[in-house]
Amino acid sequence: MEKAVIAGKEEDMGLLEEEFIKFMGRFDAHPFEIAVNDKKYLIGEGEPAFSVKFHRIPPVNELLTSTSIVLGEAYMNGDIEIEGSLYQVLNLFLGQMGKFSTDQKKLKKLIFTSGSKKNQKKEVSSHYDIGNDFYKLWLDSSLSYSCGYFKKDTDTLYEAQCNKVDRTLEKLHLEEGMSLCDIGCGWGFLLIQAAKRYKVHGVGITLSEEQKKEFERRIREEHLEAYLRVELLDYRDLSTLGQQFDRIVSVGMIEHVGRQNYEEFMKCVKEALKPGGIFLLHYISALREYPGDAWIKKYIFPGGVIPSLREIINIAADMRFYTLDVESWRRHYNKTLLHWNDNFQKHRDEVVAMFDEKFARMWELYLCACAATFMNGIIDLHQILFTNDVNNELPMTRWY
């Protein structure tokens, strides 16, 4: 094996190859082997933990513009060949995402998109309206597309999603006859369970026509028409529902509104929530404020931005939301994603038949990369429980 000496002279390599190996040398936390043009190079010191073969060398100027997009596209196009588990490789490699390069000026239109209603509906539809049949292939039967909660190591994905809903509803401290609004209701499992168990009257809002259609079918199937309805509605139009709710929940939705709209989102929630009412916010979070990953924005979640925990807490405090409880589910999301990827791999041929090989590689990269970033603490998952101003009527201890 030829060792790539990062600071020294390189021999028997073309200029492109030399620059590429030099760039990749920054990712030396875990030694790994790069195979390119029938040569092998060791990045880092020690026995290589994994091996990556490049069938095409990406130009360094493109890697400097967006390391994430270039490497992501290389995998999608089959220009990168991974030896062994994609998740295990990414779990070692993505802990170094702080060393990725992103030219925010060149990628301004991609990274900082419009927060208008029209554009955000387009962005949401691009992900969630791929087709219900696609999501049914690899989600569990509840069609829950958010973090599950694993009480036991042996919990199935479906059990973990039921645990998640149970825990969330318990935190909301529901009583029969209450009103509950789910902002970003998905395919409706949480509201269905709330109506069946607590006999609450629920309204779900979504920007996805496919989700609305499936949720309405499930309402009819469960004979819950007297309790539930779903509206194709932007959160900024909550006032058009003409009511204030006893409880509001939002699971995995605020990540789509954009940093410029966090205050507006919280303001709309406050106006739609009765004084003393409970609001549970469940969302992917970050330690610091960051505009988001360029590859994810280009291919998976256009316009998606992950809020930090502190900025949401600060905004809430300014609006007199009282914080009752904050809980991290980071490792639960890692496990949820690994379950999704296992299901995805079992149905991979069907995904390729629905779309193509490039699409399948894109989605397995997305699922494995997200699992790795949760495991490395690059992102987190938090549930925050708020009351709208002071509520002295709730139990004084955690009731779940």
The catalytic residue positions are 370
DSSP 391: -
List all residues 6 or more positions away from 279 whose beta carbon is below 8 Å from its beta carbon: 247, 248, 249, 250, 269, 273, 321, 385, 386, 387, 388
Q: Are 321 and 388 in contact (CB under 8 A)?
A: yes
- Amino acid letter, 369: A
Residue that is written with structure tokens 């699992």 in the block: 371
Cα 122 to Cα 114, 128, 129, 209: the distances in Å are 11, 10, 10, 11
Residue from 247, 225, 279 nearest 180 by CA: 247
Q: What are phi and psi of 69, to 5 degrees?
A: -65, -45
Cβ contacts of 392-398, under 8 Å, gap ≥ 24: 393/276, 394/173, 394/278, 394/324, 395/173, 398/325
Q: What is the CA radius of gyration of the chain?
A: 23
Angle at 214 between CA 212 and CA 218, to 5 degrees: 115
The H or E element containing residue 122 is helix 117-128
Residue that is written with structure tokens 């041929």 in the block: 349
DSSP codes of every residue in 240-273: GG---EEEEEEES-GGGT-GGGHHHHHHHHHHHE
Burial class (CB in 10 A: 0-12, 13-18, 19+), 52: buried
Provide the edge-to-edge strand list for the sheet that holds 80-82: 2-3, 39-43, 32-36, 51-54, 80-82
